[in-house]
Structure 1
Amino acid sequence: MSDDKPPSRNWFEKITHIFQDTPQDRDELVEVLKSAEENTLINPELLSMMVGVMHISEMQVRDIMIPRPEMVVIDEEMDFSQMLHTAIDSGHSRFPVTGDNRDDIEGIILAKDLLQFIAQRDENPESKFTLKDYLRPAAIIPESKRLDVLLKEFRANRNHMALVVDEYGGVAGLVTIEDVLEQIVGDIEDEFDIDDEDDNIHRISSLTFNVKARTEIDEFNEYFKTDISDEEYDTIGGILMQAFGHMPARGETILLEELRFEIVAADTRRIKLVRVTKQN
């Protein structure tokens, strides 16, 4: 009797076995890919990206755009030092330039354009900054555009940012190529995520709550019995950006209306989630 063990199946046999039943729809294909990951044919990161690629064909710009109140913009009336201060505080590389209001988009300016002028001014102290000399045309897209189509356009036109308009032609927000790619790479979930996507305010204890930054101020005021003004901003994220005076990082805190706000999740462009603690 031989002690030899039968040779293990090679990778080709394994993958052939997994795909022996042809997937009939996208859900079945995802299950096949998950099975491939379970059989160590692909790693979890690759599985996440493959599923993300499929999902962006089902998503629209409105699903991921940075809402209008949370946009960091440069007003055409700002002087050069104010523009530079905005660029430094936000850490962004591209900015919509607005005229009379946020629906009046004059174009896009890059942070590197501001740096270029500083270098020019060092060589020639007489140089005067003229905003129109540095403006680039803004890409305008509808909220309903699919993300896979947008990604192709970004690549074809070498754009990295687009302004999003609603059905009435008003600016609804902005989206960047990084926002789209994040849908493929995947978000990092942690213990602070709110499971119910329809629930903007999630009670943790009698004094502590997780609040999505997109929560409208009227909803927040009604829930917490506060009187935060909504004259300038529509969402809590917009109010907090104004209160901090810069794009806050995770862990930063501020007191408003006898409430302590702690940034729980944020990226370089927007606040996503805050923890609110009652102080009394």
Structure 2
Amino acid sequence: MTDKPSSNPSVKPRNGVAKTEAESSGNAGGSGGGGGFLNWLGRLLRGGGDTDLRESIEEVIDEHEALTPVLNPEQREMLMNIISFGELEVNDVMVPRTDIVALEAGSSPSDVVSTFRQAHHSRLPVYRETLDDIAGFVHIKDVVDHWGRDDELSLARILRELLVVPPSMPILDLLARMRATRIHMAVVVDEYGGTDGLVTIEDIVEEIVGEIEDEHDTHEGPSLLQRPDGSIEADGRAEIEDLEKILGLDLAPDEMDEDIDTLGGLVFAMLGRVPQIGELIGHPGGLEFEIVDADLRRVKRLLIRQTDKGDGAGDDGARRSDGSDGDASDENG
């Protein structure tokens, strides 16, 4: 099997992982000068106090590219991603809890196949009663191997172990653990033992090379799409900073939580709750957000229009596109 169960799913100490990485660097470098370069590169990626050095490298690349561009945009982006890779933590890469597709431990064979078909993933986590109690994961290859046998498919019999990691774990440490254990999926748990998210080795690789699409991936289009009428259609996970660049406005007040960086988070912060589909939310900068798609947990899609109202146009209130009061509709569920 590709993913070999780990005898100890608990988080390893940082110093243990660092030793493994140092040994790997030394073996790769041999007795020549390559080892020194690899050790330097390892320190650079791990972020061990070399912030000024990384910034200097970025400046040199920028200056050199301005004079004689030798890298295409994709190569340049990949190089920058590698330089900043050591600063990333698990919570920067993980799939959030709200987006996890998982199987209930008692799922029927038809439900298992249906979920795999809809999710287009090769691995799916399995939970017992809630997502806070993830038992492991199953691989599509094991499902196929058991399909058609006389005995009924049991998830418990093909369950594989996954890694359990905290959100603050450095990505380099997680990558080292995945390589050492050959387990390519990790559940991210918070300090109370609840499930925060999920990370696969593909999520980590995509931080360097960009999004990897296969024949099953659907192209959702840009996260911010300017329409002919001047409005902007946006994904709820689009960065506030990207919209600010388009509009030339400062959308997040100084007193707002600095951890809020998506448009969905901005709308939630303005209302103090998750809005419903069809609600219109005014923004003091002369904008109106219409909720196009949302569920009970988050905003998925919204439409942004500029209004002729100036400062103070949005009073953190909401109304529906049919003119009714958004709060009233919220009480009715």
TM-score between both structures, scaled by the size of structure 2: 0.53
Q: Give the share of equivalent positions with the same residue, in percent.
A: 32
- Displacement of 1:113: 1.1
1:131 matched to 2:155? The reply is: yes
CA offsets 1:119-155 (integer angstroms, 9 cap, x no match): xx2xx4x222222110011211100011122222222
Bigger RCO of structures 1 and 2 (CA < 8 A, at least 6 apart): 1
- Displacement of 1:203: 11
Q: Distance between the aligned counterparts of 2:221 and 2:158, measured in 1? A: 43
Alignment-derived partner of residue 146 in structure 2: 117
- Displacement of 1:37: 4.3
1:146 matched to 2:170? The reply is: yes
CA offsets 1:46-99 (integer angstroms, 9 cap, x no match): 322221112121111111211111100000121111011000111101111001
Distance 1:27 1:194, change over 3 A: farther
Aligned residue among 200, 210, 232 for 2:234: 210
Distance 1:88 1:204, change over 3 A: same
Contact 2:162-2:183 within 8 A present in 1 as well? no
Unaligned runs of 5+ in 2: 1-50, 213-219, 238-261, 282-288, 304-320, 324-333
Give the AA of the match of 1:158. R
Contact 2:126-2:135 within 8 A present in 1 as well? yes
- Displacement of 1:194: 5.2
Distance 1:279 1:184, change over 3 A: farther
Q: Distance between the aligned counterparts of 1:205 and 1:161, measured in 2? A: 44
Give the AA of the match of 1:98. Y
Report matched runs for 1:1-280 at 5 Å: 25-38=53-66, 39-118=68-147, 121=148, 124=149, 126-186=150-210, 192-193=222-223, 209-213=233-237, 215=264, 218-221=273-276, 223=281, 233-237=296-300
- Displacement of 1:225: 8.3
Unaligned runs of 5+ in 1: 1-22, 196-201, 241-258, 261-277
Contact 1:93-1:110 within 8 A present in 2 as well? yes
Distance 1:28 1:279, change over 3 A: farther
Alignment-derived partner of residue 244 in structure 1: none
Q: Distance between the aligned counterparts of 1:67 and 1:203, measured in 2? A: 29
Q: Distance between the aligned counterparts of 1:176 and 1:219, measured in 2? A: 28
Q: Tell me the C-alpha RMSD between the 2 structures.
A: 3.7
